[in-house]
Homo-oligomer: A and B are copies of this chain.
C-alpha cells in the first residue's frame, strides 16, 4: 500500500454567531464567523471510515454557541482561546486545535436626542442609539488561534482595508529588459487593499495576555499612519514602513506579514480629445494587478506566519 496519510485536519467552518450583552437599554454586540480545525490521532477514520476518534463537526458548531453563552465574547482572540483549549484538553484524540475567526464591526446609529425632534440637519443634537447598529464595512478583522496543549500561537490581522494616496508616490529607476514598455512615473496614485497578519509574542498561559481589543486598534492605526506618512518610491517600501512601524511601536508583536495588491490607477491619455490631464483623471483597473508580499520580523524572532495566510 503506497499511500501514506500526511497532515490532516477537520472541523466546522464559518459558524456565524452574534452575541448580545444588555446593560439596561445599552446593548453591546459581537458578530463573528468562527472556523474550527482539529488534528490528532485520525489515521483510522481515513483508512476504514471508523469514527471512533471523531468528535463530529456538528458538535464543534454547538460548542461555539454554547461557549458564546458560557464565556461571552470579550474579543475574537479570547473566544478562540477558550475554544482551542477546550478541544485539546477535553478530547483524548485531539492534539491540536486551530481556530480562525472573522469579525464584522458595527457602529451605533445616531438618533435625535429626546425632545430634539427629527434630526433634519446635521447640527441638531443626536446621541448614539442603545440598540440600533449599522455595519461598518471598512475592513474585516481576523485572527487565528493555534494550541497544541502547551504553546499558544496567536495571529491577529485584517483584510480589505482599502487605502489610497493621491500623490507622494513615484516609480522609476527599475530594471529594463526586452519586454519592458512601462514609462517612469514621478507622481502617481498608490492604492491597495491591505491584507495583514501579525503574530503576538504571547505563548504561554503563565505570561500576561495582551489586551486584544486595544492591540488591534493600535496596529490598525499604525498601518494607516505609516501608509499616509510614507513618501513612496515603491509599494515594497510602503509595506516595510507599515511593518516596521507596528514592530517598533508594539513590543508584544514579533512578526507581521502583508499581501498588498497594487490597485493600479492609470492616468488617462486625454490628448486625443485636446485635453490635458494634470493628474486629475484616472482609470481604476481591476486585473491584472501587481502583488507585493513580505514578512517583517523583530530581530531574532522566528518566521511562523505562512506565506499563503495573507491575501485571501
Contact = CB atoms under 8 A, between A and B. Distances in A.
This chain: how many copies in the complex? Answer: 4
30 contacts: A2-B244, A3-B247, A7-B303, A8-B293, A12-B288, A13-B290, A16-B284, A17-B282, A20-B279, A20-B280, A50-B234, A51-B173, A54-B174, A54-B234, A56-B180, A57-B291, A59-B177, A59-B180, A62-B179, A93-B175, A109-B227, A118-B245, A122-B221, A131-B168, A134-B224, A137-B160, A286-B286, A306-B306, A306-B308, A308-B308
A209 interface: no
Interface string A30-41: 010101010000
Interface stretch (A65-73, A74-82, A148-156, A200-208): A65-73
Given A18-B281, A306-B308, 17 more contacts: A3-B247, A4-B299, A7-B257, A7-B307, A9-B294, A13-B291, A18-B189, A18-B282, A45-B234, A46-B236, A55-B174, A59-B175, A61-B288, A109-B225, A132-B164, A134-B163, A137-B139
A5 to B, nearest CB: 6
A59 B172 CA distance: 13
Given A133-B163, A137-B138, A229 B182 contact: no
A290 B10 contact: yes
A195 interface: no
A299 B17 contact: no
